[in-house]
Chain A
Amino acid sequence: MPSDAHTKHLAAVAKPSLEGFRSSLATTIAQLQSLVAELEGDEAARSVHMAEHLGAFAQGRVNPNRFAQFAQGQQAATPAAAPVLQRAIAVLQEVHQAGTQLTHHTLQPGKNLRCLLSHSLRQIGRAFGAARVAQLATAGCFDEREHAPLLDQYLFRYWGPEQRKLAPMLVIHIEDGDVQATNLGEFLDGAVKVILNFGNLCSAAPLARLISPGVFVVQTTDPQLLAEFAAWDGPGVAAIVPQDCAQFVHNPLAGTALHQRLNLLHLPSHAPKHAFGGLSLQQQMEDVHQLQVLAKAAESAPASEEASPARPVDKLAALLLNKAHLEEV
């Protein structure tokens, strides 16, 4: 079982990301509430909202009531959109209030990690679905049968790049190590970050196969080492692992070359003894071997790269030579 101290620390690591997500939700909720008030309200209410839209500079200089008459003309939304907007607001509020219930999970023994993540992201995605519904309603093209399901779930595969950038960090406490982490790859996009908190058991290098150039991957025994991971604004996966597992940091910020990005800190002293998450002993050995190969490639890389530093003048010369198509002469 993960320790309480680890759990608390991981919650603190994930907090800023969740707060950022909730702040976006709060802004959207406020905007939609204001729009509903405008659509449903009387002239006075519209005037108050228009004054807010115009900001302090307009105070005493622009009559918000008169301005509102012309601003309405630019707005596609009609009072008929208000009930749909109310439903979207309710979903957004639900997601906003759920807080860590959305992002912190415990994986029960025998359950599938991928399914848990997929479900969690689907619930988070309801906020994006609600925003989409609000957009459709204000544009006057909401169709109940076609679009209402977006309020119930919004699959990760439909998330756009901006939505993937907004995703809050997920923390999964794993009660036993009998899970397979390698198929999380499909979720590692935008700024989706996942922390897997293994207890005393897990395979030797559960994240080894997730290493790719733009993904922050870290396996460590010390949650204190996650500061860089949390600061990274791209996709990432971290695992807090037991003592004798492989430990490494693959930090895309550390450089463009593999040897700059990958830092292998520790390799298991013993061969794996148990199968985990459907990974046989052989497959686990393969994971460790994969790490060794990558680390070896990283170690051998610097000498050759340093030997031929690409000076701007050389790059330019190479480019010009390339353009000259000398091979055709």
Chain B
Amino acid sequence: MSCTPPSDSAPSTTAPTAATVHTLPEHILEILSDSGEGAQKCGQSFGAVSAKMGNGAWTVEIIPAEIQPPPRTPEGASGVRIRIGTDEVTNWGNRTKLVIAFNEQVLLSRHRVQALADDAIILIENMWETHADANIRQAWADAFAELSTANYRFIQVPMEEECLKIVDNPRRGKNMFALGLMSWIYHRDVEKVKDQIAMQFRHKPKEVYERNVRLLEAGIAWAQTHLDFRFDIPTGDVSEDLVVMNGNTALAMGAVMSGLELCSMYPITPATSVSHYLSSIFDDMGGVVHQAEDEIAAIGVAIGASYAGKVAFTVTSGPGMALKTEFIGLAVMSETPLVIVDVQRGGPSTGLPTKVEQSDLLSTLFASPGDSPKVVLAPSTIEECFHCMITARQIAETFRAVVVVLSDANLATGQQPFSRPKLQANWHALEPNLGPVKDGHQPFGWDAETGLSQRIVPGRLGGQYTATGLAHNEDSHVSYDPYNNQRTSAMRSRKLAVLQSTLEPPRVVGPESNDLLLVGWGSTRGAIEEAAEKARAEGLGVSSTHLTFLSPLQPGLKEIFSRFQHVMTVEINYSDEADDPYINEENRRRGQLSWLLRATTLVDVDCWTRVLGQPLSPGDILQVIKKKLS
């Protein structure tokens, strides 16, 4: 049986008289393919070009869990959602308005999670409808029966057929043809697109670039001849010097700029690309990327390097953090400065390796034997991924502390333009003091009030001491004196209170007192602030605040919360619904930040959380706000 999509299904053979141009403040599009067909590359290129043209942009990769999932399955969908706008774009938005799909199965995957607007325009590869394999034809028919529940406008595109005119293997060309379609539809500057392609293939022979440009041009030509619509998203100010990158690249660059000289890691999704990027540039800058044999060895090397005077960092994800727990304790006990980047993913166990979640907050804070105080901070934008590394290193050294940077898969792979950082020599620390140690200087000469002490880098004359993970006194001599343990635990803990004394209360976006305060952390900031702004525009009393320091928490939270009728965290981690079976106030498991805030402020902080493996949408948050205030 064959099923024809309900509208505009057959490609027109004649050119439309003129395409209607719709000028819009923003638009969301997706490109979807099987894994390995290059949709992600295409989407990220489109996002980068849009940003370079002056559009606000935010991209989110749609990544299958397997490296090579079976083709033509909803689970194998690979692609990118790109939200572009005239103004700054801070999140992936609500529903997708335009899709380019390489087959109907990958399209189904997005339809089933209600990612697409009801009136979305869908450009779909048409080869499957008439495929020689009857099973494929049947799958096509079944898919369209399911898709017919929405009012999508379908446009069939002979991608394979068009690409075969240029390349032998369309699997390696369709993405550039699709980039051509998108470039024409959204009025992209073709020269900039070509520049992007040139950059992408800069390490390949020239003919590869030329072939891809021909595919791009073929896509543009096809769109010109067959499409009757275009979208114009006016660009904003392009005078500012911007850079475009994803969060993992930003973290890596930030690490370099902060003067960190060693990255010791073990590969783990979605953190690995930090070290991939770093390994391509670090050596030239005097840095080292060390791939250790496992997660434990990775942090061990970092602690060793840091102890020896080169402040180091390790990068991992949730399961890696679990393995590193024991050594984190050693760094805390030996007061060795250390920066740990945790790019969070869905859990527990192997969980959702390629999907976003914010579920490592409590385990980062508490998953350690004994009392193991550490600093935890969370960047909320890709720009902050860059800058937070500088602050993290400074805190780690000043406080002889472990600083954990909690990023997530959303920031890791998403791209966003931001102001080119103006590099400062002061971001780099001076070389460690290698002069002789003054008489009386002890390796743990804690200041009784602050718990701070000056570290001694090995090799300094008169500075020899035994480093140990055992309880120790000021001279680093092992000490089982019960009062010593009480005192030294207090010293290590006090440092967090001292750090908190240097922090400012978080900024409240919206009125300072109101009906509802939304509290978020990490990558949800854009979606929360957008939802709150829309709610305020509808007359609702909503403000929001976003916490970047999670340990110690920024001061003044209790006072801020007291100015609101309701306080609710919005997070990407699991919590029981209050009205679920068996769930009551006593046993309800809450969002992780909510739990933390309730414990520290004694305020009845509610939560709304989701673990869908995808970023939160401002539209969904808006609905939650309305429900909360109704």
Contacts and interface: CB of A to CB of B under 8 A. Distances in A.
A66 interface: yes
Nearest to A38: B426
B250 to A, nearest CB: 11
A71 B430 CA distance: 13
Given A73-B447, A73-B452, A52 B426 contact: yes
A175 B608 CA distance: 80
A140 B435 CA distance: 7
B436 interface: yes
A95 interface: no
Contact of A56 (B421, B503, B504): B421
Given A67-B398, A135-B431, A141 B436 contact: yes
Contact of A49 (B384, B426, B435): B426
Interface stretch (A3-11, A28-36, A210-218): A28-36
A43 to B, nearest CB: 14
Interface stretch (B172-180, B385-393, B615-623): B385-393
Interface string B535-558: 000000000000011000010000
Given A61-B548, A73-B447, A31 B428 contact: yes
B53 interface: no
A54 interface: yes
Given A57-B387, A73-B452, A140-B435, A34 B425 contact: yes
A57 B379 contact: yes
Contacts of A300: none
A233 B421 CA distance: 28
Contacts, number: 100
B397 A54 contact: no
Contact of B427 (A53, A74, A135): A53
Nearest to A72: B398
Interface string B409-438: 000000000000100111110110111101
B471 to A, nearest CB: 24
A136 interface: yes
For chain A, the bracket of interface size reads: 35 or more
B433 A76 contact: yes
Contacts of B435: 76, 136, 139-141
A86 B256 CA distance: 28
B398 A71 contact: yes
A52 to B, nearest CB: 4
B454 A54 contact: no
A58 B398 contact: no
Contacts of B394: 53-55, 58, 71
A293 interface: no
Where chain A touches its partner, the secondary structure class is helix
Contacts of A71: 394, 398
Interface residues of B, number: 42
A13 B362 CA distance: 55
A310 interface: no
Contact of A70 (B258, B399, B431): B399
A106 to B, nearest CB: 32
Contacts of B391: 54-55, 57-58, 62
A46 to B, nearest CB: 12
Contacts of A309: none
Contacts of A27: 425, 428
A162 interface: yes
A26 B424 CA distance: 11
B504 A63 contact: yes
Contact of A61 (B398, B434, B554): B554
B467 to A, nearest CB: 18
Interface in A59-92: 60-63, 66-67, 70-71, 73-74, 76
B297 interface: no
Nearest to A20: B284
B127 interface: no
B286 interface: yes
A284 interface: no
B13 interface: no
A35 B430 CA distance: 9
Interface string B452-473: 1011000000000000000000
Nearest to A57: B387
B450 interface: yes
B502 A66 contact: yes
A197 interface: no
Contact of A60 (B379, B428, B452, B504): B504
A70 B398 contact: yes
Contacts of A55: 258, 387, 390-391, 394, 424, 427
A138 interface: yes
Closest 5 CB pairs of A and B: A139-B435, A55-B390, A30-B425, A57-B387, A141-B435
13 contacts: A26-B425, A27-B425, A30-B426, A52-B424, A52-B427, A54-B390, A57-B377, A60-B504, A62-B391, A73-B450, A135-B431, A139-B436, A141-B435
Interface of A: 26-28, 30-31, 34-35, 49, 52-58, 60-63, 66-67, 70-71, 73-74, 76, 135-136, 138-141, 162, 165, 233
Given A30-B426, A53-B427, A55-B427, 6 more contacts: A27-B428, A57-B384, A62-B504, A70-B452, A76-B435, A139-B434
